[in-house]
Amino acid sequence: MKLALVQMEIKERNCAGNTKHGLTLLEEAARQSDLVILPEIWTTGYSLGHLKEEAVSLDSPLVETLRGIAVKYQCSLLPGSLPVLKNGLVYNMIPAINKEGKIVHQYGKAHLFGMFEEEKFFAPGDAFDVFDLDGVCCGSTICYDLRFPEFYRYLALQGAQLIVCPAEWPSRRGDGFDLLSRARAFENHVYVAAVNCVGTFKGDPFYGHSRVVDPMNNILAEGGSSEEIIYAEIDLERVAKVRRTLNALTDVRFTIQKPGENK
């Protein structure tokens, strides 16, 4: 499977411009890949106070456009995350769209970033299951989720071969993005596609450096600090081979408890 990671520049308070630009980049990527992934809330950026007015539904014109692109280019999409209005609540959500244009999975960001008080603007998601895209067992996570190893382990134990992580990760914490994306791939014997953005938010630059990491901690492809599309091929036999020879997933002890809980 050939992946395309769209590392786009996201501009503050420019939903229409971001959307138009993102769709242009997405179409370019879809022409020459099997799966395209975009960053976190790429339409709106991190202007959280305006999310509800700019949120979309899963039957909105934007999502219909995404579904049409998938069919046109016969390319699956994990089109970053979008602010999705559902049952009166806004979720930071990734809709998984297969090449037939069907939404086969919806993941709302589970771990909301307390530093930015995301819980005031988003409802937490609870869809922690894996899903199939063109024969690849996938799992979705978003940005801050990368800091929670148990979530990645849970997806891996369900059979995930590829876990994606759209993000808006700042440069000042870029070392964490580097370390955690590689650790999550290595400890779970999965491919991790971490798709960041570039640009700034309130003068604070985003890190970029989107990358695909293989199950043995090798970076297959990585972006820089500018807007670009990063391409990488993943081989599912690589996952199977690693799990046949060194499989921490079968050796994990779930009986270990928090200190004090076993007294």
CA distance 86 to 15: 19
Per-residue pLDDT tens digits for 211-236: 999 999 999 999 999 999 999 999 99
The closest alpha carbon to 52, from 84, 93, 79, 22, belongs to 84
Indicate the average pLDDT of the chain. Answer: 95
Rounded CA-CA distance 199/176 in Å is: 18
Rounded to whole angstroms, how far apart are CA atoms 195 and 209? Answer: 8
**Could you report the per-residue pLDDT of 54-96, keeping only the tens digit for each?**
999 999 999 999 999 999 999 999 999 999 999 999 999 999 9
Say if residue 254's pLDDT is above 80. no
Is the separation of the CB atoms in 189 and 249 below 8 Å?
yes
Give which of 59, 120, 57 is closest to 83, Cα–Cα.
Answer: 57
Q: What are the tens digits of pLDDT across the range 94-146?
A: 999 999 999 999 999 999 999 989 999 999 999 899 999 999 999 999 999 99
How far are the Cα atoms of 43, 112, 122, 154, 249 from residue 150, in angstroms, in the given order? 29, 15, 22, 6, 12
- The angle formed by the CA atoms of residues 161, 197 and 47, to the nearest 5 degrees, is 115
Q: Give the Cα separation of 105 and 94 in Å (integer).
A: 8
Where b means 16+ CB within 10 Å and e means fewer, 223-248 reads: beeebbbbebebeeebbeebbeeeee
Confidence tier at 256 by pLDDT (50, 70, 90): low
What pLDDT does 108 receive?
Answer: 98
pLDDT at 263: 54
Active site amino acids = 40, 109, 143
Q: CA-to-CA distance for 158 and 152, rounded, in angstroms?
A: 10
The residues spanned by each domain of the chain are: 2-246
Mean pLDDT of 6-23: 97
Residue 111: per-residue pLDDT: 98
3-state per-residue secondary structure call for the chain = CEEEEEECECCCCCHHHHHHHHHHHHHHHHCCCCEEECCCCCCCCCCHHHHHHHCECCCCHHHHHHHHHHHHHCCEEECCCEEEEECCEEEEEEEEECCCCCEEEEEECCCCCHHHCHHHCCCCCCCCCCEEECCEEEEECCHHHHHCHHHHHHHHHCCCCEEEEECCCEHHHHHHHHHHHHHHHHHHCCEEEEECCECEECCEEECCCCEEECCCCCEEEECCCCCEEEEEECCHHHHHHHHHHCCHHHHCCCCCCCCCCCC
pLDDT tens by residue, 164-191: 999 999 999 999 999 999 999 999 999 9
Is pTM, for the whole model, over 0.85? Answer: yes
Instruction: Output the pLDDT for position 257.
Output: 66
pLDDT at 260: 66
CA neighbours closer than 13 Å in the CB half-sphere of residue 6: 31
Give the residue carrying structure tokens 């970033």: 113
Class of domain 2-246: alpha beta
